[in-house]
Structure 1
Amino acid sequence: MRKQFRVLEKAALVTIGILGLVFIFSRDSAVQQTDELPMGIIQPITAYNKTTQKRNITPVCHPDNNISQVPAFAEQPPHIKDFLKHKHCRDFDFIQNVPGKCGGPSKSGDVFLLLVIKSNPLNHDRREMVRQTWGKERQHLGAQIKRVFITAVSPDLRSRTKLNRLLDMENQQHQDILQWDFSDTFFNLTLKQYKLMQWLDEYCPGAQFIFNGDDDVFAHTDNMVEYLQSLDAAKHLYVGYLISGVGPIREKWSKYYVSPLVFASNSYPAYIAGGGILMSRFTAIAIYRSARELEFLPIDDVYFGMCLQKAGLTPSFHIGFRVNGVSAPSSQEDSFNPCYYREVLMVHRFLPYELLLMWDAVHNSNLICARAPQRASLQKA
């Protein structure tokens, strides 16, 4: 009897020891990785974010491996190969959405100017400054201005989780993020623009005018409203800095390299530089119709030009768009003088702090400029 008791006693002690070890190791394995934010500090906003819809998981789009049989394929840079294999992929889930941004499809006609800003997940400082300056949601001369940023997923796996949570937080606070579940790269800009057009068609079909631009531009949105108020959103409008008579860059070292396998022709249709484009509702609808039938080209502004060409429409030059900055009349003058900016529509390449300075300066009621504003010239599209 005693022997049986001792056996049971030993078995109990062994069991307790094993359970103790399991407990210790399970606590050690719960230590969080440095790339992760502590869940107790920042809860996933998707659990309660009213701006994030329940996600319907889209089936994975498989690469087209048949293209690898084309003789010239093996000579292409990796990003060109990747584009060729996946250019047919268009269905991607939302990570962040703002379905009520325009008040629903039936009320979206109340939005006079929708600002669509292309932004990399990393560019939090740029988004914040745009929100404080030209991208502020407001009414100007009775016209309603709304704002969305379009983005995707960081290609850097180490920072992806943190950046997705950052965008979660931004969207919870500002309700202005559209994010899709694909890699945010230069060659996916066209895909990002296509998903935007889908979003407009579903959630904001009545927005009268759309400014489509980068997050590093100075956009004088007050001037845009004043320019657009005399125009009809039901007619064609597609203006900015016009580029024509050019073709694809064939040098493989260039960021803008386009292989003949991607685009065979040596000439592009006329297009507006992608830093800033102003278009009407009519034209946005026409672009989306064309885009549903045209193969993607990775250069997004050229692709929009292709869509216009297919729809029988043409882009137009507008003097108010300065993609190469503003030049002072002489080397003795400062090109950052607000007098050179108060009558423009868009100027490319601004640092975040410069946006704040210039927006404040052009709205300073005490600003005195030597020459009278040439507003009449800005009324010409």
Structure 2
Amino acid sequence: MPTMTAYVMPQNDSVRHQIRDVLVPLVAMFLASRLVLLVLASMTLQLSGAHGANSSLAPMLCRWDCEWYLGIAQHGYSTYEPGLAYGHAPGETTFGFYPLYPLIVRFFTPLMGGDVLHAGILVSNLCFLAALFYVYLYVRELGLNRSVGLLTACMLCVFPQSIVFSAPLSESIFLLLMAAAMYHFRREQYLVAGIAAALLTAVRPNGILFIVFAGVLLVQQHGLRAVLAPWRMPEKFVPIVLAPLGMFLFLTYCYVATGDAFAHESTESIGWGWAFVPPWENLLEQLHSGSVLALCAAISISVALCSLLLLQYGMYAEFAFCIASILLIWCGQGVVSLFRYWMILFPIWIAVARSVAVRPMGATLLCALLGMISGVIACAWALGSIIAL
């Protein structure tokens, strides 16, 4: 009796299917979302009566912290304080920003004819596109289907204030490296995960919270007793050991350059007025402020509630990372970002996408609502309104 053999898809066919089913939709979502947001921002500039350089798209994308990053990319770090004459408060210096993003922008600047602004825009968009792929891969690594992966990517593209992913700011590279570090750690590719984590802490200090994710996942997979005996599986602790490296290198540079290893914290405190406040006090103060801070606080509470979906789906390590990030942001006095701090917490949006993916109409309405808010925020961004900060 003849035996039946399983059909194995030829490798070329598999690659074509991956391009058709994954690559094309992700690139299409990336391009469509960027085009719509930039068109809306451009129309807003034209209707506002902006002229000359103020009416072009590239300068419009450079808002708030952008000038600091581009200044570091062009001139390096300095203790010079621009002061009130330049719209800055005394005590603000370039040491308030970590170095990896401006270093990469500096590398790309010659490729853009010496134009550091366009180099920054290019780097941010390339990192965002790569981040979408990593987020999709992460979704599949969790055992979820293609629809959840594409829906998560779509939400990131249309999320309110997602225009920041195309601006010369560090959100795109932070999202990319965080997704990469978590993805490779879950795949037990520990050296790659450690390198990504080390680069992550050279982008922003809160990247160190990757250690929370890694530690909880190890406990979840191997038990607390095994984790308390790291010599029995040392390779699994490589990412945890390497993660602080980017931060330590920057602290060392700060010490050599200024004599203060914590120059970043000093300028954040003196220049930007950052101070630790118990999160419950900070939230109550913001909710009763009667200003945009009240809206920011309400949105942050909504994000925290959405993070509970991670517990429902057994994503305990991802929940630990997200809730630690939320608590850290809540502890910062005077936090004013509406959405920018929350977009990069991609595990939350994976859980939300998983919840609504089974309801196509609900998923469509959610993306449409997010897209409409994002369009409004893009217009506010073009006008330099604080609501887009």
- The question of a shared fold, defined as TM-score above 0.5 by the shorter chain, is answered with no
* Greater Cα radius of gyration, structure 1 or 2: 1
Q: Which structure shows the bigger proportion of residues in helix conformation?
A: 2
Bigger RCO (CA 8 Å, 6+ sep): 2
- The alignment's TM-score, normalised by the length of structure 1, stands at 0.30
Q: Which structure shows the bigger proportion of residues in strand conformation?
A: 1
